Each structure stands twice: as C-alpha cells, then as structure tokens.
Structure 1
C-alpha cells in the first residue's frame, strides 16, 4: 500500500464542514489535521473541494451472474466509483438467484476478482428456502431481501404463511420491495383494455400506484411490529408511506426506510421526455410525492438514500409498455445529481453525507467505514462545483445510457478512493484498484 496525502480540502463529516488535510497510509485514514507536513507517495491538492466519506449504496443490481449482457460487477463497479460510490450491496435476483450459500460464495468470488468498489451481497428469499434463511450467519450477508411484489418466479413471496415465518425467523436485517401485485394486475388490465399494447409510459405511476405501494409496505411494517423484526423498507416513493415510519434517531428504531435517487430527482412530468427510460418499480410518481420525500430527508423518517441501480440494454428498453423492463442505471450520476439538492437548499451537505454514508454504515453495522475517522478505511470522494453535462464523461455502465442525459450537474466527482486506493481521478479509472468485502459487526443472533 502506498501513502496518499490530500491537501486543502473541506472535509464534511459528522455534521461539520472544516478545512483540513488528510493522510492515507496502508489503506486507512492515518491523520486528519489542519496542516500535515509529511510527504506521501501521491499528493492531491483539493483546492477547496469537498472531501466526503464515499457513498455506500445499499441497493444495486449489478446483474452478475447470468444477466451480464446488461452489466457485470466489473463494469457497474467502475461506473459506481466514477460517481463517488465506494461500497455497494448487490441484490439477489440474478441467474441463478442468490438463494443458497453456494450462490452467495460465487458472487463473493466475482466481487473479489473484479470489483473496483467494496462489496457485499444480499441473500434472497423464495417460497421454499426459509430454512436456509433462518440458518444464515448474519455476518456473511448484507441483508435478507424479500420481494413482496414486482418479481418473477419463486422470488415473489406473497404467501401469508411464508411471510409470517420469514418475519419471525429472519436472523438479521430484512429488506423489502413492497408493491401489491394483485392491485397492479387489476390496474394493468384496465389500461390494456383502453390502449391494448400501446399503453403510454405516463400511465406507469397510475398502474403501479400509491395504493399498491401503501398496501404492501403497511403489511410489512405490521408484520415487523408483530414479530420484532429489524425491517428496512426500500425505495419509498409516496408521501402516504412516510407516515409508516417514525421520526426518531436510527439507534431507537427497528423499522427503517430508504429513498432512492430517482424518486428525489424525477417526477411524473419526466415521462413525456424519458418514456421507458424512466420506467422503474416502484414508479416515479407525482411532483407532490417527490417534494414530500425531499422534505422528509430533513427528518428521521427517511434513513438512507440508495440508487436501486438496475441497467437494461437500449434494445430492451425500446419495447412497448409491457415489454420494456423496469430499472434505471444510476450509480455514475447519483451523487452529482443529489448535490443539486444541496445547491438548491433542499438539504445541507452534512445531511446528504449522513444519509449516503454515516447512517448506511450504522444501519447495516458495517465495520470501520462510512466516516472520516482516523483508523477507519479510507473510502473518500472529492467533489467540486464545476458545471458538467452528464454525457460529457463516458457512460461506464455496460448498458451505455443514462436517464440524466441532457441534465446539467453543478458538482462533479474528481477523485474517488476505495480502501486507500485511487479508483477514479481526473476523469480516469484506475483499473488496478480492487475493493474489499464489507465486514459486518453483528453477533450470531443478528
């Protein structure tokens, strides 16, 4: 490991912004001080840029194994580090799905070989692997993912008896995708009768509507309260759902919520321009929903911000409403996009850092990451205020497109450091960088 010295930065950490230098040695933050006289193998003059702990993304779909025509761990982690994401937690709906320890071990091996970012993997739930879920060592997985809607095959778990047992026996944090499939099916048929296959993409938030979200998320919260489950509800997309979550510190809660980048930065008006390129589950909804989610970032109702990065090829997205798959590639532009909320005064920068780094590390009990602290792993992002169009940097996701094309950012990631290694600097990847497996500070009972 080499040493790295970052000078003249504005550090953003634990509610404060202050001018400082930062020295990295052997992969870890060795010293934080106003002025560090030591020399280093590599030095970066931050010239007043903000220095943040790297974003930890609790929800990505990097598509490997089995769906690598869309993306893979190598390509998507490259896009992630270019966007200031230093750690990710990958979802289980690959081919084969991550429903066994053997499948989990395969993904960990791919991560060790190919990932430029730090990595961890969620374990999936099906209708017939509850025994395997109950036997999990909580330190071996990021979380346990259950699709309570919007999945295929046996990864859609909506049998009441299976859900009761799952919420009762989950040995660590249970994370849920909540949409009520029967409600969505009824809505689809109404629109199909009117338009046939030519349903407009603007109908997506009316088909996968707020009622479908609330019906499922409220069931998950009810089950978690009944069984004392540690529950994390993903991608909240409606104002109504916010009432399900308590506005109090993370340490005082067993039930938490995530909001995603696209639900904060887009609304139903954007379907007219983006069409299938905005189709995702749960759907991007009204401007009022978007504004309510933004406001909730300044409370403790929304605990973390993720991406739900889910690349599909342009050819796949070119299908009609029923053919085009749901999902958006987001990791490369998530943090620059979110910085727009800071520039607009929607949230302050320490709050953004808390919800993309500090609280993610705390919620998932990640060891020695998510903060700028001496002795912690050096997962760092330098981000400045230069204007940049999204397409000006090559799109690194294998799918080759972004919903942010045509939008102007007011901040740009200039440097990303992963476990003490330069991963992205001055518009270039450092392909020899390799992330580490995330470690979780949990006991055998979760």
Structure 2
C-alpha cells in the first residue's frame, strides 16, 4: 500500500484536541508527532485548518444487498458512506433472503469482499425458527445478533415470550434489539384508519408508533437482559422516557447499552409538514422535547454510540400515500457533516462526537486496532474542513442508489475533505478512488 503523510492537522482523539502530523504506511498509523520531517511518503496532504478524526464506525446500516438493487447495494452505499466520513459499517440482517443462516452470512461476506470500499461486518438475524443456529454462532464471526421485538419485515418479528426468553438466555454474543410494541402500534393504526381511512397524514407517524410503544418494548428487553445476564444493546432510542432505563456510567461497567441515530438528533415532529414521508422511519422521529433529551444524554454515558440506521428507499416509494410509503432514510453520505451541525451549534463538543461515533463503537463491538488515532492502529481517518458560510447539500451529487436525501434543503458548516480506509485514500477533494476494497472487521471476543 502507498504511504500517506498528513501535515498540520488538528487531531481529535480520546478527549483531546492537538496539532500534529500523522504518517500512514502499509495500512496503519505508524507515527503521530508534532512535526514529521524525517519521513517520506507517496502522498502528502496539507491539512491546515482541518480536523483529523478517526473514521465513523456505523453500527447500523441497511445496504439492501441482496434483494433490493433498486434501493442500494454494497457497491453504491459503501461509496456514499466514505463520502460521509464512515470508514466501517455493520449491515443489518433484514435483506432478501434474510441473514438467518450461515450460508446467507457467507454470501454477504463474499459480496462485500469485491464491492465495498469501506470496512464491513454483519449482524445475524433472529426468527422464530433459527435459535439453534443463533445459539451455536461463533461470536467472532458476526458483529452482533439482531432481534426485532416489534414490527419488521418477513419472518423476523420475534414476540413469543418463550422464544425471547430462550434467545436472551442463550445468545452467545451482543444482542441488538429493535424495540417497538406491535399490538400498541396496530391499535393506533386502527384508530387512525377509522378517522382518516387511507388518508392518514405523515404527521401521524409519531402518534401511531408512539412513545408508549417504544417504552413497553424497550423496558421488556431491559428486564429480560437483567434476568438472564444478557449483553444487550438497544438500538435507535427515540424518547426521553426510555433514557431512564439506561445507566449513566462508563461503557466498560455496563452490560446494557444504547444507541441513538443521527436523524433522531437532528429532526423532530415539526419537520413532518415539510418533509412528510421522507422522514418516515421506525421508530418514528418524535417531539422536540424527546430530541433535546437525546442530545443531552449524549453528554453523559447514558447513550453510548451514534449510528445512522441508513435505510434507503426509492423516491417513487416515498411519494406513495403515508400508509403505503416504506419507512427508512438514506443517511450515510451526510452522516458526519450533519452531526457536526451539533458541534457548530455548541450542542456537542467535537471530542464527545468522536467518542460516540468511533471510540465507543470499537469498544462496544470489540473491534481491535480501529476507532482511535493511535500508532499501530489501522488508518481509518477523516479530514473535516470547516465551511463557515455553509455548503448547500443540493449542490453535491447523492451517491446512494436512491439518489435523494432528507437534507436536500440544508447547508452544512463542515464537509468531509478526505476519507482514508485501512490506509487507502478513498475520498479526496470530492473525488472517489475505489481501486481498493475495504477489509472485514474483526471482533475479538
């Protein structure tokens, strides 16, 4: 691999900001120093005025392969991801076919090896009839095991108490839970249909998939985890009420952790009149009070990581009436620039953002040698350039297969100028270099 020398950067790492040079060789960070003048490199990047961050590790994406090439693939979505500062991703199992067998898992690994420019890992799915396979999984072969304790697609909804108890008792690695109480949601849908028929407005979404449905399911998941000693990670929290279920203490001291997603930090229910189905997602974007509580919780240890839950659908699908429009947003290309709006607005310190998008994700999933700016670690790096006047999102091409973004009307005050994946410059000055593929993530458990 080529060597890369980054000069004059402002590094953000492990709670500190400092000026330094950084040298990459053979895929790894080999030197960090205030000035590196005694080394030559194949490529030098002058990063004056830039932040240098460890790349974002996204613990939750839906890249739609196999099964939905019109929505996305490892090829298209990994390229969008690196443009957004994401150097590693973990893909969810609700594909077609679902990742419920070892053969399906192996197929995904084969596909990404020749198509993904970002590093990659995979979550394994749970259904009502594959618990023997789940219990026998090698914890080092998967990022985690994902259970839908609420409405989902296909046969991946698991709501039988006996099956859930066995799962929580026997799962051999970290268990990720999507928590929404399906009977509550179904009852809410029925009430809205009685009043509006098929003309339910998108603004009803957070009232249908409401805070009560989330809390009933997430509180059950936490109770089961406490009963069986499960290593539980609850995905995409959306409500202030749920935060009380999680402890405010360091990650290493917890067996129950939680994620928040960027769209739940950046949108709230006031955005439905303008964006409608474009921000329809599960669980729903809720109130400003919920959004603000989630932001505040990031300043503590109550929320551990930030993910994207990138879930693209076609523009045509999103134009359907609310009841028929699918849930999910394309987010990876604008992940870090969007989150950096919170830094620009002084809602989050930059060091906290780095901890929640890189450090803690690597720690949580036991990913060795990634997620930090440390000598000897893989060079997964992002250079961020401030843009005080803001850059209009609409002026940049959307790289995701679906070709749209919910941020189209916004201006971001930072942009990703360079992304380096496992030592290879894949994004630089708005240009993609996809001549080398990313690497499989390792999980050391």
Maintained 8 Å contact 2:94/2:153: no
Deviation at 1:436, TM superposition (A): 0.2
1:12 equivalent in alignment to 2:15: no
- 1:214-229 equivalence runs, <5 A: 214-229=215-230
Deviation at 1:152, TM superposition (A): 2.4
Give the Cα separation in 1 of the matches to 2:264 and 2:48. Answer: 33
- 1:114-129 equivalence runs, <5 A: 114-129=115-130
Q: Give the secondary structure class of the aligned counterpart of 2:140.
A: helix
1:400 equivalent in alignment to 2:403: yes
What is the aligned partner in structure 2 of residue 21 from structure 1?
Answer: 21
Give the Cα separation in 1 of the matches to 2:436 and 2:317. Answer: 32
Give the Cα separation in 2 of the matches to 1:373 and 1:27. Answer: 13
Q: Give the secondary structure class of the aligned counterpart of 1:248.
A: coil
Deviation per CA, 1:230-277: give whole Å up to 9, x if none: 000000000000000000000000000000000000000000110000
Give the Cα separation in 1 of the matches to 2:292 and 2:108. Answer: 37
Give the length in aligned residue pairs.
442
Deviation at 1:48, TM superposition (A): 2.0
Structure 1 segments of 4 or more deviating over 4 A?
none
1:132 equivalent in alignment to 2:143: no
What is the aligned partner in structure 1 of residue 424 from structure 2?
Answer: 421
Deviation per CA, 1:359-412: give whole Å up to 9, x if none: 000000001000000000000000011121112221000001000011110000
Maintained 8 Å contact 2:80/2:333: yes
Deviation at 1:297, TM superposition (A): 0.5
Give the Cα separation in 2 of the matches to 1:48 and 1:153. Answer: 49
Deviation per CA, 1:102-148: give whole Å up to 9, x if none: 00000001111100100000000000000000000000000000000
Give the Cα separation in 1 of the matches to 2:239 and 2:312. Answer: 23
What is the aligned partner in structure 1 of residue 339 from structure 2?
Answer: 338
Q: Give the secondary structure class of the aligned counterpart of 2:20.
A: strand
What is the aligned partner in structure 2 of residue 388 from structure 1?
Answer: 391
Give the Cα separation in 1 of the matches to 2:234 and 2:196. Answer: 33
Deviation at 1:431, TM superposition (A): 1.5
The 10-residue stretch of structure 1 (144-153 or 195-204) with the greater mean CA deviation from structure 2: 144-153
1:440 equivalent in alignment to 2:443: yes
Q: Give the secondary structure class of the aligned counterpart of 2:57.
A: strand
Give the Cα separation in 1 of the matches to 2:394 and 2:170. Answer: 46
- 1:105-184 equivalence runs, <5 A: 105-184=106-185
Deviation per CA, 1:199-255: give whole Å up to 9, x if none: 000000000000000000000000000000000000000000000000000000000
Give the Cα separation in 1 of the matches to 2:369 and 2:380. Answer: 10
What is the aligned partner in structure 2 of residue 211 from structure 1?
Answer: 212
Maintained 8 Å contact 2:92/2:123: yes
With structure 2 as the length reference, what TM-score do the two structures score? 0.99
Maintained 8 Å contact 1:422/1:433: no
Give the Cα separation in 1 of the matches to 2:169 and 2:440. Answer: 28
Give the Cα separation in 1 of the matches to 2:413 and 2:276. Answer: 25
What is the aligned partner in structure 2 of residue 62 from structure 1?
Answer: 63
Deviation at 1:426, TM superposition (A): 0.1
1:49 equivalent in alignment to 2:55: no
Q: Give the secondary structure class of the aligned counterpart of 1:87.
A: strand
Give the Cα separation in 1 of the matches to 2:194 and 2:345. Answer: 43
1:314 equivalent in alignment to 2:332: no
Maintained 8 Å contact 2:82/2:118: yes
Give the Cα separation in 1 of the matches to 2:85 and 2:411. Answer: 17
Maintained 8 Å contact 2:3/2:26: yes
For structure 1, the 5+ residue unaligned runs are: none
Give the Cα separation in 2 of the matches to 1:322 and 1:54. Answer: 37
For structure 2, the 5+ residue unaligned runs are: none
Give the Cα separation in 2 of the matches to 1:67 and 1:132. Answer: 25
Deviation at 1:334, TM superposition (A): 1.1
Maintained 8 Å contact 2:175/2:231: yes
Give the Cα separation in 2 of the matches to 1:86 and 1:373. Answer: 16
Deviation at 1:433, TM superposition (A): 2.8
- 1:97-108 equivalence runs, <5 A: 97-108=98-109
Q: Give the secondary structure class of the aligned counterpart of 2:114.
A: helix
What is the aligned partner in structure 2 of residue 347 from structure 1?
Answer: 348
With structure 1 as the length reference, what TM-score do the two structures score? 0.99
